[in-house]
Amino acid sequence: MTIRPDVLIRCIRESLAAITAPRFFESERGYQGALLAQLHDRLRLPDPVILEQEYQKLAGRHQLTIRPDIIIHEPFDPRRHTARTDGNFAVMELKLRATADAARADFESLMSMLTVLNYRLGIFVNVAAAVTHVSLVPSEIRSRVVCFAVALENGTPMIVEERA
């Protein structure tokens, strides 16, 4: 089962463009909820793939204790998967007005999830900002990360999309 990265990225772009309430640009959690709702409306995920938020990764089970903001994956089922890393499609990190240091920390988290948990695609969204910090993406994962910045200007989301 596969999800085309170009389709996923288009759905993310469309979802970012649909969030226009100023309130959502005031907090990372508020924006995350709005983005999750927009993605749910746009993504046509094949069963059993799901869109999930803030799923706690457990050290004993996942080798990480990172809490990603949004993931797209097949929940582990021993009848279909040989490992918990099977069926992991995309992982998203959101940051409100990320500084370079905050973005760097999120890119390190993305690198861990992409490499240890075998997610195919990493997405970084800098909310209420115009800079993606794409130059800070570690070289080891550059081909697998797409960065967005989204800011509301006169009621219209302005979106910057960059790849390393």
Task: Give CA–CA dist 126/130, Å, rounded.
Answer: 8
**Angle subtended by helix axes 28-42 and 5-18, to nearest 10:** 120
Task: Give CA–CA dist 93/130, Å, rounded.
Answer: 16
Assess contact for 125 and 70: CB atoms under 8 A: no
Q: Residue-wise pLDDT tens for the chain (164 aa)?
A: 578 999 999 999 999 999 999 999 999 999 999 999 999 999 989 888 889 986 655 544 545 668 889 999 988 787 888 887 888 899 999 999 999 999 999 999 999 999 988 999 999 999 999 999 999 999 999 999 999 999 999 999 999 999 98
Task: Give CA–CA dist 92/124, Å, rounded.
Answer: 6
Length of the chain in terms of residues written: 164
Task: Give CA–CA dist 35/11, Å, rounded.
Answer: 11
Q: What is the pLDDT of residue 134?
A: 98
Q: What is the pLDDT of residue 54?
A: 66
pTM (2 decimals)? 0.92
Which DSSP helix (H) or strand (E) runs through 71? strand 70-73
Sequence spans of domains, the chain: 5-163
Q: What is the CATH number of domain 5-163?
A: 3.40.91
Provide the β-strand partners of residue 130. none
Q: What is the pLDDT of residue 60?
A: 45
Nearest to 137 by CA among 127, 147, 128, 129: 147
> Can you tell me whether residue 44 is helix, strand or coil?
coil
Task: Give CA–CA dist 102/81, Å, rounded.
Answer: 34
